Amino acid sequence: MKPAKFEYLRPSMIKDALQYLEDYGEDAKIISGGQSLVPVLNMRLSTPKYLIDVSRIKELNYIKLDGSVIAIGALTRHYEVEESELISKYCPLLIEGIKNVGHPQIRSRGTIGGSIAHADPSAELPCMLSALRGEIVIIGPDGERTVPTDEFFLTYLLTSLEPTELVKEIRFPIINENFGSAFIEMTRRHGDFALVEVAAVVGLDESGNISSVQLAVGGAGPTPIVLEDIEDFLIGKEPTEHIITEAVGSIEDYLDPEGDLHSSAEYRVHLASILTKRALQTAINRVPKGMMA
């Protein structure tokens, strides 16, 4: 199928995009890389009267270090993150995870802001952003607001963005150089969306016990899920296989998966348990030797 008829608008500045959003509100849809929206338009699941193509807004394409945060402009494409030396140095988790987003063709067009705004609970970026306790900067007619992930992702493909607002920047806290991190997912075929995915960041103290842990799972509920109780349980503990198994033993209590044609809900819980153990163990193994925090 082809999309329903729409009027195409292509602003080159944020203020013009915001003006269009204000003028056309719910009749308009933002398009950036088009990797998620074009299929939706082609299937006529969405039939906006106005399509606002923000992909030429240069002021929204950047990767920069801002104190202890890597700030990424919404229009930065996946491949630019993948190739960034700054991100490789300060947030290697992001590089590991983003390589799982579709295929190179998709990563060369798809944007970071588009992935976050699309809010697919199986997408890699929302999961990593949640694990890292990152934030989303939103711009609208009343200026900017910065929100944490649990206020942004509401449910499947739904966020707290207003129709007159734009995702401006995604803020990923950098990872302590003495910590280890890991991103692991399971897909049916290479390049598919994950059935389940896990992002983990771990720090160890001088005795080798866990001093810090950040853990999130995607694909096992309507939004990415931060496993706070498991994190709390692990703090101060020796990172043995037994402790990790005990910590992850309660994981089902925090998940809310649905079954679909790709996998049953039970299998997603099973995967979440296995992948969380693997991600934790991998992150622990990656803590630089002799560099415990």
Ligand X SMILES: Cc1cc2nc3c(=O)[nH]c(=O)nc-3n(C[C@H](O)[C@H](O)[C@H](O)COP(=O)(O)OP(=O)(O)OC[C@H]3O[C@@H](n4cnc5c(N)ncnc54)[C@H](O)[C@@H]3O)c2cc1C
C-beta of residue 203 within 8 angstroms of C-beta of residue 176? yes
Q: Which stretch binds ligand X (CB under 6 A): 27-35, 128-136, 225-233, 269-277?
A: 27-35
Q: Does 80 bind ligand X (CB under 6 A)?
A: no
> What part of residues 180-209 is at the interface with ligand X (CB under 6 A)?
193
Of 263, 265, 269, 278, the closest CA to residue 193 belongs to: 263
At which residue do the structure tokens 């929206």 appear? 37
State how far the Cα of 112 lies from the Cα of 253, in Å rounded to an integer: 31
H helices of the chain, in order, are 14-24, 37-42, 78-82, 85-90, 92-98, 104-109, 112-118, 124-131, 149-152, 228-234, 241-248, 265-285
C-beta of residue 197 within 8 angstroms of C-beta of residue 100? yes
One of 9, 20, 24, 33 touching ligand X (CB under 6 A): 33
Q: Does 35 bind ligand X (CB under 6 A)?
A: yes
Which residue lies nearer to ligand X by CB, 9 or 101?
101
Kindly report the number of other CB atoms within 10 A of residue 238's CB atom.
12
One of 9, 41, 74, 204 touching ligand X (CB under 6 A): 74
Q: Which stretch binds ligand X (CB under 6 A): 32-40, 62-70, 238-246, 282-290?
A: 32-40
Which residue lies nearer to ligand X by CB, 110 or 180?
110
Binding mask 43-62 for ligand X (x = CB under 6 A): -----------x--------
CB 110, min distance to ligand X, A: 2
State how far the Cα of 168 lies from the Cα of 61, in Å rounded to an integer: 9
Q: Which stretch binds ligand X (CB under 6 A): 65-73, 105-113, 244-252, 275-283?
A: 105-113
Q: Does 37 bind ligand X (CB under 6 A)?
A: yes
Q: Which residues contact 291 (CB under 8 A, 6 or more apart)?
A: 177, 178
> What part of residues 108-167 is at the interface with ligand X (CB under 6 A)?
110-111, 113-115, 117-118, 123-124, 161, 166-167
CB 108, min distance to ligand X, A: 10
One of 14, 95, 106, 265 touching ligand X (CB under 6 A): 106
CB 213, min distance to ligand X, A: 24
Q: Does 34 bind ligand X (CB under 6 A)?
A: yes
The order of strands in the sheet holding 50-53 is: 7-9, 50-53, 28-31
Q: Does 219 bind ligand X (CB under 6 A)?
A: no
Tokens (6 digits) for 190? 């290479």
Please tell me the count of residues contacting ligand X according to CB under 6 A. Answer: 28
Helix (H, G, I), strand (E, B) or coil at 214: strand
Which residue lies nearer to ligand X by CB, 76 or 181?
76
State how far the Cα of 131 lies from the Cα of 198, in Å rounded to an integer: 9
Strand pairing report for 28-31 and 50-53: parallel
Q: Which stretch binds ligand X (CB under 6 A): 99-107, 171-179, 225-233, 256-264?
A: 99-107
Q: Does 101 bind ligand X (CB under 6 A)?
A: yes
State how far the Cα of 287 lies from the Cα of 293, in Å rounded to an integer: 9
Binding site for ligand X (CB under 6 A): 29-37, 54, 74, 100-102, 106, 110-111, 113-115, 117-118, 123-124, 161, 166-167, 193
